Amino acid sequence: MHPRPGLYDAPRTLMEQTYFRRGFGLRKQIEPLIRSEYHSALVERIRANGYEESWGDGDARVTVRLAEEFGFCYGVDRAVEYAYETRTQFPGRRIFLLGEIIHNPHVNRRLTDMGVVFLQPDAQGRFDFGGIVPEDVVILPAFGATVDDFRRLQAIGCILVDTTCGSVLNVWKRVEQYARDGYTALIHGKHHHEETRATASQALKYPEGRFLIVRDMDDTRRVMDYLEGRPGAMTREQFLAHFAEKMSAGFDPDLHLSRIGVANQTTMLSGDSLGIAAEVGRSLQRRFGGEPGFDIGQHFRSFDTICSATQERQDAVEKLMSGPEGAPDVMVVIGGYNSSNTNHLAVLCARHAVTFHVADASCIDPERGTIRFKPAGTPLDAPEVEAEDWLPAGPLVVGLTAGASTPNVRIGEAVELLLRVRGLQVQEESVATA
C-alpha cells in the first residue's frame, strides 16, 4: 500500500497538536523588531531613485547601480519572521534549529543571540536528537528537512515549527510523483546541500523510490554515456564509486536509468538545469527510440522547478549587465559563501565584470582600502582572498546584487563602506568628502 501523500506524512492528530506551519499570528508584534534589524533606508532610497544613485564629482564620482531584484525573497522573509514568532510564542522553552534557518551569517548570529540552539549534522548529514525532549521546540529551516529527520522528531513528540519554502515544496511534490510512478528522480543540485538532501528523501516515501544527484552537465553526461554504452563510458564499478554519496541505497544503473524524472535544487542556475533536462531527454530518445511503440513520456519527465525568486534575481543580473550603459566597472555580490543562489549570482556577474563575492559588508575595509572575498566559482571550502586598490581610479560605476538570504541592512552597509573607500560618506540628503 502506498503511503498517504503529504508534506512529511505526519498523522493528522499529531500535526494538530505539535506541528505548526502557518505562523502564530504575532506578525504585528515582531514587525518593528524585524524592520529595525533588517531594513535599510539607503537601499530604499536608491530603489526609489530607479535603482541608481551617484555621489561625488569629476574623477571622484561613484555611481551605484542595484539589480532590480535582490536580497530577501518571500520564502526567506517568511522563515525569518516565523523564527522570531517562535521565540516570542515559546519564551520559556528550549528552541532548536535544524542546521541554519537560511545561509546568512548575520541572521543566524542574531537567532543565536536570541537563545536559539543550532543543531549541526555529522559528516554523513545525520543529526543527533538524543538531547531533545517533548517539551522542546524544533524549527525546520527554509531548506526543509529530510523525511527521516522529520519522522525521528515526530516520534520524540516535540513541537515542530516548519519554515520550509513553498518553492522547495513544489519540487518535493514532483519528486514524490516520480517515485510513485516508477521514475528515478535525477536531481540537479549539490549533494551535500540541505535542500537537496531533503528533496532526495522525498523519493524514499515509496518502497521502490530512488534518486540520483548530478552536480553539473559533466556529471549528467557521465550518467547518460553509461546508459547509452558509449565509448569511454564509466564501468559499472566506476559509476557506483563516482556517485556513491549521490544516489539512493541499492541504486542499480543497469536497471534504474530507463525511466528518469528531472528535478533540481531550486537555487541552481536555471540555464544549467534546463540544459541538463534537455540532455537527459535526448539521451533517452537515442537509447530507447528504436523500440516498437516508443513513447518518450514513458521514459522521461521534466518540469522547471527553479524558484521564481532565484530566477528573478538571475534575470535582474543579466539585465544589469546588458543594459544600454554597459556592464558596471565592478560588481559586488553580497551573501553567505555557503549560499547556493548567491554563488550562482557571482558566477553570472563574473562573466561580464570584475566581481567580488563578499559574505558580509564587514569584508570591505575602507581604512585599509581592502576587500575580503571569494572569487566566483571557487569551492565551498576555499579560503577568502584579499585585494587592495580594488576600486579603480576615476569615475566609477559599481553594481550591487545580493542573494535571497541577504537582508537590506547589509546591502546598505556595503554601499556606505565602498563609498568610504573613495573618500565619500552617505548623509541624509547628500554626500560630502570625508
Residue 113: its H or E element:
helix 105-113
- The larger pLDDT score, comparing residue 5 to residue 131, is at 131
What confidence score (pLDDT) does residue 9 get? 52
What confidence score (pLDDT) does residue 8 get? 59
What's the CATH code of the domain at 173?
Answer: 3.40.1010.20
User: Average of pLDDT values for 187-207?
Assistant: 95
- Last residue of some domain: 140, 164, 188? 164
Residues 160, 268 within the same domain: no
- Long-range pairs, 67-70, Cβ under 8 A, ≥24: 67/313, 67/316, 67/317, 67/319, 67/320, 67/399, 67/400, 67/401, 68/316, 68/319, 68/320, 69/309, 69/312, 69/313, 69/315, 69/316, 70/313, 70/316, 70/400, 70/401, 70/402, 70/406, 70/411
What confidence score (pLDDT) does residue 431 get? 42
What confidence score (pLDDT) does residue 267 get? 87
User: Average of pLDDT values for 294-317?
Assistant: 89
Residue with cell 531533503: 198
Q: Which of 194, 107, 191 is nearest to 144 (CA)?
A: 194
What confidence score (pLDDT) does residue 4 get? 37
- Last residue of some domain: 164, 185, 213? 164
What confidence score (pLDDT) does residue 432 get? 40
The Cα 364–Cα 361 span in angstroms is: 6
> Which of the listed ranges 25-34, 288-297, 301-310, 364-373 does the model predict with the highest average pLDDT?
364-373
What confidence score (pLDDT) does residue 7 get? 55
Given a cut of 50, whether residue 433 has pLDDT beyond it is: no
- As for how many domains the chain has, the answer is 3
Residues 324, 422 within the same domain: yes
What's the CATH code of the domain at 83?
Answer: 3.40.50.11270
360 part of a folded domain? yes
- The larger pLDDT score, comparing residue 305 to residue 416, is at 416
329 part of a folded domain? yes
Catalytic residue numbers read 195
User: Average of pLDDT values for 48-59?
Assistant: 95
Give 65's pLDDT tier (boundaries 50, 70, 90). Answer: very high
Mean pLDDT of the chain: 91
26 part of a folded domain? no
Give 426's pLDDT tier (boundaries 50, 70, 90). Answer: confident
For the stretch 227-251, pLDDT in tens is 999 999 999 999 999 999 999 999 9
What confidence score (pLDDT) does residue 323 get? 86
What confidence score (pLDDT) does residue 163 get? 96
Residues 286, 404 within the same domain: no
28 part of a folded domain? no
Residues 67, 84 within the same domain: no
32 part of a folded domain? no
Residues 183, 291 within the same domain: yes
384 part of a folded domain? yes
Residues 177, 298 within the same domain: yes
The Cα 129–Cα 149 span in angstroms is: 9
Please give the residue range of the domain that contains residue 426: 39-73+309-433
Given a cut of 70, whether residue 5 has pLDDT beyond it is: no
For the stretch 69-100, pLDDT in tens is 998 888 899 999 999 999 999 999 999 999 99
- Burial-class residue 139 by CB neighbours within 10 Å (0-12, 13-18, 19+): buried
Name which of 16-30, 207-221, 314-328 the model is least confident about: 16-30
For the stretch 145-154, pLDDT in tens is 999 999 999 9
Residues 197, 250 within the same domain: yes
User: Average of pLDDT values for 57-70?
Assistant: 95
> Which of the listed ranges 10-14, 302-306, 388-392 does the model predict with the highest average pLDDT?
388-392
Residues 282, 371 within the same domain: no
Given a cut of 50, whether residue 314 has pLDDT beyond it is: yes
User: Average of pLDDT values for 247-266?
Assistant: 96
344 part of a folded domain? yes
Name which of 201-215, 239-253, 292-306, 409-423 the model is least confident about: 292-306
- Burial-class residue 394 by CB neighbours within 10 Å (0-12, 13-18, 19+): exposed
For the stretch 85-142, pLDDT in tens is 999 999 999 999 999 998 888 889 999 999 999 999 988 888 999 999 999 999 999 9
Given a cut of 80, whether residue 12 has pLDDT beyond it is: no
